[in-house]
Amino acid sequence: MPHPRRGAVRSRFRRRSPSLVPLLVQGVIWAGAAGVLGLWWTGTTSVVGPPDWLTGAGRITGLLAGYGCAVLVALMARIPLLDHRLGTDRLARWHAMGGRYTLSLVLAHTLLIVWGYSLASHSGVIRETTTLVLDYPDMFKATAAFLLLSGTAIVSARAARRRMSYETWHYLHFATYLAVFLAFGHQLSNGADFVGHRPAQLAWYTLYLTVAALIAWYRFLLPVRRSLRHRLRVTDICQEAPGVVSVHLTGRYLTELGAQSGQFFRWRFQAPGLWWTASPYSLSAPPLPHRLRITVKAAGGHSAALARLRPGTRVWVEGPYGGFTAARSSADKVLLLAGGVGITPLRALFETLPGEIKVTLIYRVRRPEDLALRAELDAIAAVRGAAVHYFVSEPAEYSCPLTARALKGLIPDLAAHEVYLCGPPGMTEAARRALRGAGVPRRSVHHESFEF
């Protein structure tokens, strides 16, 4: 069993001011959108009659949709500055919300352009659609892009996601890259704001090539480089609870990864049935110079197969990712609230949060035997003098409702705490409501979801 490092709880605590990175990133995105609207404004001399109004609106929505596609891809490029400061889950939420807006702009652009052109040429909508697709340059590829984007939106709907594995959903999303590539040409060859406008063309090329370079480096080339350099291998598999195992790994130069407690990697195990997918699992112990550990619950075919890994199995790794770290803390009192296997990043944080911080841990599971890593948690609590509360759903006499009243009964000054929250979706949503009811400010609740 890894023992808590006493030095880890003696580190100097520094109060941090709220990060301005989210506001700065949003400001850059909106400034880019304003620039796109400015491009339309400077390229439009007059708007007269219904055809011009419709095609003008189609141009605006088309420009914003093209810009939106570039922003969506950039948000998921796994740029360390954004990922570590904003958090993977926040970027994913922005990506999902932006995806809905972008798809709406694509639909509006398509309908408005076809309608406006049909009025201008005095032809029917169906005939004009056929003419646009078959006779205009790059429009056949743009149509394929439209269908791919629509299909991606369908599989991203919550009802559809529940019916497919993470791996299937992940690889279907690669169709987005193909759709953006196919749609790019028609923007320059048919867009009135680009034809004959060299500065606008150069700006558009710069935007898309920059995003493509970020994707190529951070999503593909850097993970390969790191995997070859660090040569991670499985050293041991230990059962922690029913259906829960810890995977111990070793490698070279692991300090170069810059991993922190609370972060996660995407792991690609070079074993039959596992090598083709990279799944996200959090570090369940502080990273060491030659050792890493993850703790995984069998919740699907991939996670269940990890219990059968053999020592020596090679591992390719992407990361570290996420901003669920001690850097988010700005208070001298912290609550770690875990549900089920959500204890894994919190166990690592429990050991490495600065010693000046007063820490309370609440760990909820269904049955007593599901309390994974309990011996380690008790040892860490003894070193740092922290309070630990274990609750189970069965038997009921050892349960505790996840309500504001119950939490305040355990921690009377809860509103003065920062909270790190990790667990199943239902539990985390109930915890958010309870924390708000207990007076904990929204900005003081830190949570990263690993749902797809």
Which residue, among 43, 49, 98, has the nearest Cα to 74 in the 3D structure?
98
* pLDDT for position 194: 86
The one-digit pLDDT tens for each residue of the chain (452 residues) are 444 444 343 333 344 444 688 889 999 999 999 999 998 888 777 777 888 899 999 999 999 999 999 999 999 898 988 888 888 888 888 988 998 999 999 999 999 999 999 999 888 889 988 988 888 888 888 898 888 888 877 777 766 666 666 667 767 777 888 888 888 888 888 888 888 788 899 999 999 999 999 999 999 999 999 999 999 999 999 999 999 999 999 999 999 999 999 999 999 999 988 888 888 999 999 999 999 999 999 877 778 889 999 999 999 999 999 889 998 888 899 999 999 999 999 999 999 999 889 999 999 999 999 999 999 999 999 999 999 999 998 887 778 889 999 999 999 999 999 999 999 988 999 999 999 999 999 889 998 765 54
pTM of the entire structure? Answer: 0.81
pLDDT tens per residue, range 115-138:
999 999 888 889 988 988 888 888
Determine phi and psi for 15, rounding to 5 degrees. -70, 130
In sequence order, what are the beta bridge partners of 250? 233, 291
The Cα–Cα gap between 30 and 155 comes to 28
Tell me the C-alpha to C-alpha distance, in Å, between residue 214 and each of 76, 78, 180, 325: 10, 8, 15, 24
Whose tokens are 């994913």? That residue is 92
| CA terminus-to-terminus distance, the chain | 32
Q: What's the pLDDT at 162?
A: 66
Structure tokens belonging to residue 245: 């195992």
Rg (CA), the chain: 26
User: What is the distance between the alpha carbons of residues 144 and 397, in angstroms, rounded to a whole number?
Assistant: 59
Residues 102/65, Cβ–Cβ less than 8 Å: yes
Tell me: cis bond preceding 320? Omega within 30 of 0 counts.
yes
> Among candidates 327, 404, 421, which has minimal Cα distance to 89?
421
Of the candidates 320, 254, 313, the one whose C-alpha atom is nearest the C-alpha of residue 283 is: 320
Given a contact cutoff of 8 angstroms between Cβ atoms, the answer to whether 275 and 227 are in contact is: no
Q: Indicate the SS3 state at residue 377.
A: helix
Own/partner contacts of 233-239, CB < 8 Å, gap of 24 or more, are 233/311, 233/312, 233/313, 233/314, 233/315, 234/269, 234/309, 234/310, 234/311, 234/312, 234/313, 234/315, 235/291, 235/311, 236/311, 237/306, 237/307, 237/309, 237/311, 239/307
Output helix, strand, coil percentages for the chain, rounded to the nearest 5. 55, 15, 30
Angle at 104 between CA 137 and CA 429, to 5 degrees: 145
